[in-house]
Amino acid sequence: MLKRLSIYSVTLLLVPFFAFVSGWHWQPDHVVGGWDYGLFLITETAGKPFAIVTCGAFALFYLVLVKNKKRAVAAIIVMALALGITQGIKSVLKPALKADRPFVTAMLAAKTLPKADFYLHSRKVRGELVKHYYNGTNTPQWLVEHRAQETSFSLPSGHSLFAAMWVMLAVGFAMLLRNRYLAYFSYGVTAWAILVLTSRLVLGMHSPADLALAIGTAWLVAVLLFSFLPRLNFFNITDNA
């Protein structure tokens, strides 16, 4: 289990790793195109409010793919708890680490606005400052609105943590229940998560370090979780799928 979880974590880490070793950095003058809007639609599946829809869709897969429905429901409950715990960890780490988002760094530098002053404002006022900054620019309105809603600290990435945790859960339960259809499902979840991670970089919302910490947090929670669950006979049974 540990080996498989680690392999998938390393796979996800390739996104921030290649960004780091290539010297890629988000640029304030990045020209936004159709590719960016496609990534925006993907990033929305891992953030409020659409993350709830994503959870519902993934949960439905488990209800369909796991033959024992009581075990499927139990797995879904565990998943919900794990997702809640990781998002709680994120809420503690962000204000403690106080890292800026790339677009916020660029905005504060251009406006010569002290960092401390920006974060003293309420979330609503920070959003208005973002909208004012992009007023009259070529930045599309959908991206302005997205950034105006995301003015909290950056490290770790909440979207990336959500996506990475889903990968860990998909891989872990596929192995725990020995269900080949869940294994196929984990491949699709991994591909989706890679796109979510990529979107956070390209849209100027996060740095590679933000993604790496999110992936590491998801891996750690998953290792602890799937070290415990096999001890429960309820889960440690082949689903025969």
pLDDT in tens, 52-82: 999 999 999 999 988 888 888 989 999 999 9
**Distance, CA of 200 to chain centre:** 9
Q: Which of 3-12, 13-22, 74-83, 172-181 has the lowest mean pLDDT?
A: 172-181
Whether the predicted pLDDT of 237 surpasses 60: no
Whether the predicted pLDDT of 238 surpasses 60: no
> From CA 51, how far away is CA 26, in angstroms rounded?
25
Whether the predicted pLDDT of 235 surpasses 80: no
Closest CA to 163 of 152, 154, 175, 171: 171
Q: How many CB atoms lie within 10 A of CB 126?
A: 19
Question: Residue 81's pLDDT is what?
Answer: 95
Whether the predicted pLDDT of 241 surpasses 90: no
Residue 37 has, within 13 A of its CA and on its CB side, a CA count of 6
Active site residue 25: no
Q: Calculate mean pLDDT across residues 105-131.
A: 84
Question: Residue 229's pLDDT is what?
Answer: 84
Higher pLDDT: 32 or 210? It is 210
Question: Residue 1's pLDDT is what?
Answer: 80
Spatial CB neighbours of 99, under 8 Å, sequence gap ≥ 6: 153, 154, 155, 207, 209, 210
Higher pLDDT: 133 or 217? It is 217
> From CA 137, how far away is CA 123, in angstroms rounded?
22
Question: Residue 128's pLDDT is what?
Answer: 92
pLDDT in tens, 171-225: 999 988 888 899 999 999 999 999 999 999 999 999 999 999 999 999 999 999 9
Whether 103 and 137 have beta carbons less than 8 Å apart is answered as no
pLDDT in tens, 43-53: 999 998 999 99
Whether 130 and 147 have beta carbons less than 8 Å apart is answered as yes
Identify the band that residue 151 occupies on the pLDDT scale cut at 50, 70 and 90: very high
Q: Calculate mean pLDDT across residues 145-173.
A: 95
Active site residue 206: yes
Which residue carries 């496609």 as its tokens? 38
Higher pLDDT: 155 or 112? It is 155
Percent of residues, the chain, with pLDDT higher than 90: 68
Identify the band that residue 27 occupies on the pLDDT scale cut at 50, 70 and 90: confident
Question: Residue 28's pLDDT is what?
Answer: 82
